[in-house]
Amino acid sequence: MDEDYKKWETDCKKIRKENKILLNLFQLWLEKKGLKKATIKSHVGNVDFYINDFLLYSDIIEAKDGANSIGMFLGDWFIRKATWASVAEIKSNAASLKKFYTFLLEKGEIAAANLSELKQIIKEEMPDWVAQVER
């Protein structure tokens, strides 16, 4: 097996372990916010797909460093890779990722500017993402 691939696999395994802890903490955070179980499950599932599939797909990007990748994810990758992609799913994922990065901000993992940029990207690019998935 190629050394680069071994290293990539080892790094991904380490990050997935860290992500599992992060997802559990995110779930607890959502529960404290009083969200319904089904809503929490949806948010955690959406974020899990983003941080464990998309952010580790070709590069290795830690969750805390992934806020600015949302445009590539929702505007292209998700539409091509997720067989369940729809307008509702695009909007659901955008909402989940806003909540997740708000959680990371409150945890001190990201800067306020990162969350602000993520929200701005969602606001500006959502019409394009919707048009893309409708095609």
In sequence order, which ranges of the chain are alpha helices (DSSP H)? 3-32, 37-49, 70-72, 78-81, 87-106, 112-134
Give the pLDDT score at 50.
98
Mean pLDDT by 10 residues, the chain (135 residues): 85 96 98 98 98 94 96 95 95 98 97 97 97 91
Q: Give pTM, 2 decimals.
A: 0.94
* Residue 72: HSE in the Cβ half-sphere, 13 Å Cα cutoff: 9
CA–CA gap between residue 121 and residue 135 (Å, rounded): 21
Do residues 37 and 82 lie in contact, with contact meaning Cβ atoms separated by under 8 Å? no
